Amino acid sequence: MNDTLDPRAISERLRKHLDGFAIEVPSWGFANTGTRFGKYLQVSAAHTLEEKFSDAAQVQKLTGACPSMALHVLWDFPRGIGDVAAVCELGRQYGIRPGAINPNLFENQVYKYGSFGNPDADVRRLALDHVLESVAIARELGNVDLSLWFADGSNYAGTQHIRNRIEWFHQGLQATHAALGEGQRMLVEYKPFEPAFYHTDIADWGMALLFARAAGPQAFVLVDTGHHYQSQNIEQILAWLMHEKMLGGLHFNDRRYADDDLTLGSVDPYQAFRIFHEIRLYQSEHPAVSPPAYVIDQSHNLKNKVEAMVQTVLAAQELYAKACLVDHGKLTRLQRECRLVEAEEYLRAAFWTDVRPALRTWREERGLPADPLQTLRASGYLARTERERGSKNQSGASSYA
């Protein structure tokens, strides 16, 4: 039973699981980002794509779990596909693979009334052209995932024809799928509200599932842990999507109310543990199925960005490691016999197990720092980036990231 394992046994049990765990960092998580009320500048924030790669390389160097970085087309490819060669060179220089490509379908003023769901056919064409270029960028980078999140919706009843917009979304997503290369995936994300407050065109996992299914076999659902109503059972959603073989990836963060940029595990670590457990349980029953793509989706305005990213990765490793302690055969027997208290306590025992000593051992065996946060603070990297980037970050660039 996992609550009786000694630290050495825990280390042995977790070693292979930790070796296989990877989580992608977001380029926008290293840049100055905003809220609805303004942008709070940090002197050490990344101002260029090279600085984002540099920060990502620091996180990988300290944690050993972040070999790739998700990219945003508008912010990271200002010349579109013409920037691919430079991005690949930065990836080689810093030892970080370019990761999932994210089109931007919300910042341009023409998207005021939507992108794929806009009543204006010219705007829908503009949005599709941008997404198709994003597909081409992703293909040039090695058929990395295309992540699609739409801010489309409306604020007032009667102001939009909801069913027409469904059809326009079908058309846009099917055209996007038709452009995918072999082995390339497109992930459809959902969010119940914000910035739209009356209706959102892809508001929940069921809508995303239907859109992805209709688009084609290379389309899957992307779940963001912050994109749900209060108290929604996210692991049940994941169980359904895995059962339907439609879970493509997860964006990790945490939330207290309606936003989604708090550090993973800072509010509800038990929820993140339950999510990892549900995925691990499915994998134990379907070992040939690859795990979903894990990506951090956070933009910190108050915490130092590199420090917050390292903290997030450490939390993800700890919570994933706890989930790996569960003996699924034993838990399944308890469930089938309806031994409710024993089953719940068995799961809770894994969550309450202190895996930090095992993680320290794992890091030391792989030449990683035993205490990544302390090593980051002592390295001088944060002070150097403040010194080198400070003047650039006083201007307050107008874009989100």
Q: What angle do the packed helices 305-324 and 372-379 form, to 10 degrees?
A: 160
| Pairing status of strand 34-35 against strand 38-39 | antiparallel
Q: Does the pLDDT value for residue 178 go beyond 60?
A: yes
Q: Which of 81, 78, 83, 82 minimizes the C-alpha distance to 107?
A: 78
Cβ neighbors of 126 (< 8 A, separation 6 or more) are: 110
Reported as a single tens digit per residue, the pLDDT across 191-223 is 999 999 999 999 999 999 999 999 999 999 999
Report, as an integer, the average pLDDT of 17-29.
Answer: 97
CA distance 133 to 376: 37
Domains parsed from the chain with CATH numbers? 21-304 (3.20.20.150)
The structure tokens listed for 358 are: 């095992």
Contacts of 369 (CB under 8 A, 6+ apart): 62, 363, 375
At 35, is the pLDDT very low, low, confident or very high (cuts 50, 70, 90)? Answer: confident
Q: Could you report the per-residue pLDDT of 265-283, keeping only the tens digit for each?
A: 999 999 999 999 999 999 9
Q: Counting Cβ atoms within 10 Å, is residue 327 exposed (0-12), middle (13-18) or buried (19+)? A: middle
Instruction: Specify the pLDDT at position 395.
Output: 60
pLDDT digits (tens, 9 = 90+) for 343-364: 999 999 999 999 999 999 999 9
Nearest residue to 280 via CA among 312, 327, 246, 339:
327
How far is the C-alpha of 97 from the C-alpha of 47, rounded, in Å?
A: 19
3-state SS assignment for residue 98: strand
CA dist., res. 41 & res. 139, Å (int):
34
Q: Which of 7-16, 240-249, 267-276 has the lowest mean pLDDT?
A: 7-16
